[in-house]
Structure 1
Amino acid sequence: MSIPNDRPAATTSADVDVVVIGAGFGGLYAVHRFRSDGLSVRGFERAPDVGGTWYWNRYPGCRCDIESIYYSYSFSEELQQEWTWTHRYATQGEILRYLRYVADRFDLRKEFTFNTSVTSAVFDDDEQVWTVSADNGEVFRARFVLMATGPLSTPIDPKIPGLADFAGVVARTSQWPDDLDLEGKRVGIIGTGSSGIQSAPVIAEQAAHLYVFQRTAQYSIPAWNRAYTEEEIARIKAEYPQMRRDAWETVGGIIYEQPDHDPLTASSEQREAWLEKAWQRGGYLMLASYPNVIFDERVNAIVGEFVKKKIRAKVHDPELKERLTPSYPFGAKRLCADTNYFETFNRDDVTLVDIKENPIDHVDAHGIVLQDGSRVDLDVIILAIGFHAFTGTLLKMEVRGRGGLTIQEKWANSTGNYLGFSIAGFPNLFMVNGPGSVGVLYNMVPASEQHVDFVADTIAYLDSHGLASIEPSEEAERNWCAHLLEIADQTIYPKANTWYMGDNVPGKPREFLAYAGGGPAYFAHFEKEASNGYPGFVLRKRG
């Protein structure tokens, strides 16, 4: 819904209507949408340019794990027709070029201050405005603040004794240096999540020897990446509108074929044939092989055993087969998509180091020393150890809501929020794909568009009704958090130690941090709020 520029006058005085923090997919679209609605906007981005996570994560082999034609904006049909994706799974470089194209196409950069981090956002109870301060000295008063900071944007600080003593190079996959030369080097990569799995095969081609330090064996499905043909691109562009509508109705925001049988009653031959078809389709969609794979442990075991068998078939060494085979339920950790990851361990110049069996004790000048006293001499240590998911970026800031309540106080024992979108006690503060949202279990780009559209429509509602602020009621927030856990407890997600559960950050409350009920059910909650006058929120006039 687009609001004309003669919208009702705001009920509060501020420098801008909205401050947007972050210039990734969510932040760029937010600036475009708010500006189109006649709102004044100021954006902040800590990177030198647009891109968000796709600016920083530029490690070798970095690609999206959602197919390019879906992992892109749907708000502009002209944009969809203008841009042509080259590969089924776009590289980091291609995604960054796309976002830069979008920024140029819609003239979005002029609204952002780059190379700048927001340090604080403080709500004034009397004026009902936010004061937003940045590390470059800029201060803005804003009616609304949108945290488009991304759920995976704050890397975990490594707690490895002696890391500062290492005489070689230490690099993060999440902040990859432009000039890192790995040719002929002894390289150790710590971590086997998505970034470790994507980068290891590429690094192995460059390094003299690659050591992969694995704590947990992972499920990973071949991406079967390839270039699109001209015929495919023509068909995709012709079908984009219908394709977007169909994808929106799916659980994960991606179109996929449904099975024609019940895995629990079908023959083993029928299941095997279907799972082989799903395997050949590849990638993250293996999670959609059967609709209830996350909810039914029996179905989960069927799919998990199939994938384990495939993993073992890729690895030659019998001992390595078992060390690389996961032991937790299929999909309980973020499923990875790879290109020749498991095959990489058949190389003579690649070594798996099992740090679950023999943990890292410390690092010295020459390399990594394990608990049993053995050592691995290295020239380069790569940290692929993950993120403080969902909450890390907000918790780094000074964010103070009503009555001076800090976000650290609010989230000390539980990540209270409503719809993964807003927080009781923090009026007019919105999140894109925040904790409790469907984002990380859905296609992140349309999920971001949905959140931004809801914010824009909500602001329009407030202005048309002479209202100054909106925040969830405490009851709605409690009910939402209980609902999240109720759904999660029906799934296999709590049965593994994951960033979904906050397990990778010491002291973080253990709770499932996403909505596991699927996109359509999640978005229906927003539609119910908007169509019924926001019953889950507290709406206030000025004063």
Structure 2
Amino acid sequence: MCRSAGGRSAARARGSLACCGTGLHRKVRIVNREPSTSTRLSGTELDVVVVGAGIAGLYALHKFRSQGLTVRVLEAGAGVGGVWYWNRYPGARCDVESVDYSYSFDDDLQQEWNWSEKYAAQPEILAYLQHVAERFDLYRDIEFGTRVTDIELDVPTLRWTVRADTGLELSARFVVLATGPLSNANTPAIPGLESFAGQVLHTSTWPHAGVDLAGQRVGVIGTGSSGIQAIPHLAAAAERLTVFQRSANYSVPAGNTALDDETRRRQKAGYPQRRRLSMHSGGGSPHLAHEKSALELSDAERRAAYEERWKLGGVLFSKTFPDQLSDPAANETARLFWEEKVRAVIDDPEVARVLIPRDHPIGTKRICTDTGYYQTYNRDNVELVDLKAAPIDRIDATGVHTTARHYPLDTLVLATGFDAMTGSVARMNIVGRDGVTLNEAWREGPKTYLGLGVTGFPNLFPLTGPGSPSVLANMVLHSELHVDWVADAIAYLDAGGATALEARPEAVADWVAECSERAAGTLMTQANSWYLGANIEGKPRVFMPFCGGFGVYGQIIADVAAADYKGFDVIVA
């Protein structure tokens, strides 16, 4: 029968299992079997293959290796960093404070690394991840320039065969998909795009050597997070910048500042409490929402709370009050405050009208974080084109044609985002039981249990993707949470002589329903966002993240583990 792994403390996770009903855990007789050891594995037969050497992949390698497992990481890029290796566009910067957007698993690492800014830019984040890879000797187990093409289950042994475009073939007991939720670039199908005679750049694959735009007429399509960060820099570099706005988005100034030694000292001394607050919070940061509803306060009190969050900067403005994303009236108070702030820094009221969203409540798309974005439209060399009023008709060799006019360009920048949450996984041919591919299993939208298990795909663990808080939380702490859970699950199997964990169909169905119900209880589904896959033509419209909060989610998955992985089949091959 199933039993808890040795050393697991039931006190670690108390409370009800809100994610699944009774009877979902199938008890399987486990025969005593000596756990596998690295000395019994050849160079191509491993315990774990990790796909991706970004934040989650690096920690996964360190964690699994530290518990005696043989691990290989396969990475398509030429270096570590994931999204921070590829996204080198001007202005690329994290929208979570640097002190929080960092690993918590090693206190010496926390104490030795010095962040230079409140919100770190791409070069500094990449340098940090390179430091982590060097400090923990991770490079020796990473295969760079290796894109995984196929992952196929051998049903009799429940081992996975992993193949890459280099001809590499590996066999693994476990496969961990650390591909990231925002790593598959979306290039829109605009007629004539391939005929443009100038250079075409995508923010997510920006040339590593940089780009000289001096004297050029530059056009940028897209005003999401990447576009909003890049546009002030593109405007300063180019002779003329034309911004083609498909949808207006909400952005809040970062209020970025340099960090001095005293600030860093206080932050490092306060790490234990900061991490505790973050792990129990809604989004993985230590900043908690006001204890009262936005509607319970006087106008002056409410404005003071919004002013405080405005100074804090960035995405946390959407979490000023606990009901801001569930009550339309509360949300409107935030929107009106935001609009007043933005109108105050834009000279032309007509430009302001185009830049102010009217099609979704504030915060239901991820609030962007900017430095001087709205002020950029006061520059003489910047023109805003409203594609709602005059859509792009086609692109030719010389520029962009809207239904209203032609815009001559030398360089075209696509700030068109990602096929989020599932795009990178969909590029691989992942074949589970009965020859069913993951793409077939997810034809109507991703279906997971806890975001960690998929029926028909035993021992395949997707990280920080659909069914988990994913992009609604701090991705570094989220990665640690998921990797630690998978590591504990592997130890549980080995301690009991078992072979695999596989999510039960009933547990998957219940979890998908719970995620949907939680989303429906908020304003989040009112936005035509990439959380729903709305930016990709033909993609099923399913709200993919778990929106019940990072701390709540962490408690749920801990409870499942403490209950002998309730909702999973524990299998002996």
Partner of 1:235: 266
How does 1:302-451 map onto structure 2 within 5 Å? 302-327=333-358, 328-372=360-404, 374-451=405-482
The alignment status of 1:9 with 2:35, answered yes or no, reads yes
**1:434–1:257 Cα change, 3 Å:** closer
Q: Contact 2:80–2:129 (CA<8 Å) still a contact in 1? A: yes
1:135-190 residue CA offsets vs partner (Å, 9 max, x unmatched): 11110010000000000000113201111111100000000012421111111010
Deviation at 1:397, TM superposition (A): 0.7
Deviates more, 1:95-104 or 1:272-281: 272-281
Q: Distance in 2 between matches of 1:8 and 1:233?
A: 48
Counterpart residue identity of residue 393, structure 2: D
Partner of 2:28: none
Partner of 1:275: 306
For structure 1, the residue ranges without an aligned partner over 5 or more in a row are none
Q: Distance in 2 between matches of 1:2 and 1:222?
A: 49
Q: Contact 1:186–1:379 (CA<8 Å) still a contact in 2? A: yes
Partner of 1:93: 123
Partner of 2:536: 505
The alignment status of 1:119 with 2:152, answered yes or no, reads no
Partner of 1:174: 204
How does 1:197-276 map onto structure 2 within 5 Å? 197-259=228-290, 261-276=292-307
DSSP 3-state at the match of 1:314: coil
Deviation at 1:334, TM superposition (A): 1.1
How does 1:76-155 map onto structure 2 within 5 Å? 76-155=106-185
Deviation at 1:453, TM superposition (A): 0.4
- Relative contact order, CA 8 A, sep 6+: which one is greater? 2
Counterpart residue identity of residue 66, structure 1: V
**1:384–1:2 Cα change, 3 Å:** farther
1:472-527 residue CA offsets vs partner (Å, 9 max, x unmatched): 10000000000001000011111111100111111111010101100111111111
The alignment status of 1:537 with 2:568, answered yes or no, reads yes
Deviation at 1:258, TM superposition (A): 4.1
Q: Contact 2:6–2:492 (CA<8 Å) still a contact in 1? A: no
For structure 2, the residue ranges without an aligned partner over 5 or more in a row are 8-32
Q: Contact 1:2–1:36 (CA<8 Å) still a contact in 2? A: no
DSSP 3-state at the match of 2:407: strand
**1:521–1:257 Cα change, 3 Å:** closer
Q: Contact 2:153–2:432 (CA<8 Å) still a contact in 1? A: yes
1:249-270 residue CA offsets vs partner (Å, 9 max, x unmatched): 1111111254364321322122
Counterpart residue identity of residue 192, structure 1: T
Counterpart residue identity of residue 424, structure 1: T
CA RMSD of aligned residues (A): 1.5
Q: Distance in 1 between matches of 2:105 and 2:55?
A: 12
1:108-131 residue CA offsets vs partner (Å, 9 max, x unmatched): 011011011000000011011000
Q: Distance in 2 between matches of 1:281 and 1:527?
A: 32
Q: Distance in 2 between matches of 1:176 and 1:507?
A: 27
Q: Contact 1:308–1:326 (CA<8 Å) still a contact in 2? A: no
TM-score using structure 1 length: 0.97
**1:79–1:167 Cα change, 3 Å:** same
Q: Contact 2:74–2:146 (CA<8 Å) still a contact in 1? A: yes
Q: Distance in 2 between matches of 1:257 and 1:157?
A: 37
Q: Distance in 2 between matches of 1:446 and 1:257?
A: 16
Q: Contact 1:146–1:429 (CA<8 Å) still a contact in 2? A: yes
The alignment status of 1:55 with 2:81, answered yes or no, reads no
DSSP 3-state at the match of 1:167: coil
Counterpart residue identity of residue 316, structure 2: L
1:186-221 residue CA offsets vs partner (Å, 9 max, x unmatched): 110100000000000011111001111101111000
Counterpart residue identity of residue 539, structure 2: K
Q: Distance in 2 between matches of 1:422 and 1:184?
A: 52
DSSP 3-state at the match of 1:471: strand
